[in-house]
Amino acid sequence: MPKNKIVGKNTRASSTKATGRDYSYDKKYQATPEKKKYRSELNQEAKDRGIYGKRTAMGKDLSHKKDGGVVLEKSKVNRARNSHNGKSSLK
């Protein structure tokens, strides 16, 4: 058995024990109608482009633009685009 008993357990409960982080806020936030709609739009766009299920392997995300469109770009760039105050800045 490893020294750290939490290693290898990929459940939220053990993650909470390991990090001391409470995921209840995230769970509520992701369950809001706005976030569900946001994710469904991106998934539908991926299905239309024929890349649904392949984006992770490609290392790409579908990113919303200021004009309302969607563009394929590197995950790292898309997820790093939040400013220091936590507000998102669209491409």
The domain locations on the chain are 24-79
pTM of the model: 0.61
What pLDDT, on the 0 to 100 scale, is given for residue 17? Answer: 63
The residue-averaged pLDDT of 48-61 equals 87
**Joined tokens for residue 38:** 């946001």
Residues 32-51: b if buried by 16+ CB within 10 A, e if exposed: eeeeeeeeeebeebbeeeee
Share of the chain above pLDDT 90, in %: 16
